[in-house]
Amino acid sequence: MTDPEKIENIETESSNPKSVNIDTMTPFEIAKLMNEEDKKVAFAVEKVLKPIALLAEKIMESVKKGGRCFYVGAGTSGRLAVIDAAETVPTFNLPYGTFTAILAGGNKAMMRSVENVEDDEEAGKRGIASHGLSSRDVVVGVSASGRTPFVIGALQKSKEMGAFTGCIVNVKDSKISKIVDIPIEMITGPEIITGSTRLKAGTAQKMALNMLSTISMIRLGKVYKNLMVDVTPINEKLVNRAVNIITTATGVPRKKALHLLRESGMKPKVAIVMALTNKNSKDAEKLLEIHEGKIKNVFIQGK
């Protein structure tokens, strides 16, 4: 009988029979095999859409009440979490710290491997505790093996501090899954290079993280129709994008859209309400505040 606690018996660490001769394959054959294996990732994610949706809703409720979402991970999992958290600021105009990724080994681990840090459970506890969690916050552990000590420590401490918890893992019935309120277990199976979880497991994790941040922000009103109306136009490209968003949402000419954007204080969402209601920026902001930041609610519930 195999011991599931041994690293070699974890699904993500087992050998893939399709790639045992990968070192003799041509580049095209390797690319074809990788593509075939990657096709399985979306199906693995499809099986856990319900817990993903439930956790995304919890994150939305948390942010709406002034809470925060923390991702915790090590290695590839942690780096993917850093990317997702960082992108929420320009995409959804969130204050820094609304989504925060805690990476084992700190910032230096983003660019190079830091040995042994993922095995430090106490470091995970200290890392999350330093943020002063409350019951308004959500903490999501990300770990391919579902047993990373750094992540386990952080989640245990999070529960002690009253935060809601979830996880993204790539094995069934993991240690981490047993700790959290909502586990997301995406079974991606053996990698083509044994144990290289930056491949299928990492791809699945990125997809799940995309869903958690995107769904929660759509539900919070950060998207109107399918437009990212809260984008922060901090450079020429993003100013052009904001103008395109305003023209698409309202039908006003580009020159008018740019004028409204400037009048709004470079806030596309406010500019859109100004265009659709003929209000000034102050009144448009007030309307959005009354209707929880949702443009559609301004018109559904009355002006």
- The residues assigned a catalytic role are 87, 118
Which DSSP string do the residues of 92-161 spell out, in sequence order? HTPPTTSEEEEETT-GGGGTS--TTGGG-HHHHHHHHHTT---TT-EEEEEESSS--HHHHHHHHHHHHT
Question: How far apart are alpha carbons 114 and 105 in whole angstroms?
Answer: 6
Burial zone of 193 (CB within 10 Å; 0-12 exposed, 13-18 middle, 19+ buried): middle
Do 166 and 183 touch, CB atoms closer than 8 A?
A: yes
Q: Residue 25: helix, strand or coil by DSSP?
A: coil
Kindly calculate the radius of gyration of the chain based on its CA atoms and give it in whole angstroms. 22
The answer to whether 174 touches 146, Cβ cutoff 8 Å, is yes
Tokens 């997809």 locate to: 207
Please report which helix (H) or strand (E) contains residue 169, including its range.
strand 164-169
Among candidates 226, 290, 234, 92, which has minimal Cα distance to 277? 290
Four-residue CA torsion sign, 87, 268, 293, 283 = positive
Strand 182-185 with 99-103, pairing: unpaired
Who's near 229: CB < 8 A, 6+ residues apart?
Answer: 222, 223, 245, 249, 268, 269, 272, 295
8 Å CB contact between 152 and 15: no
Instruction: Give Cβ neighbours of residue 299 (< 8 Å, ≥ 6 apart).
Output: 276
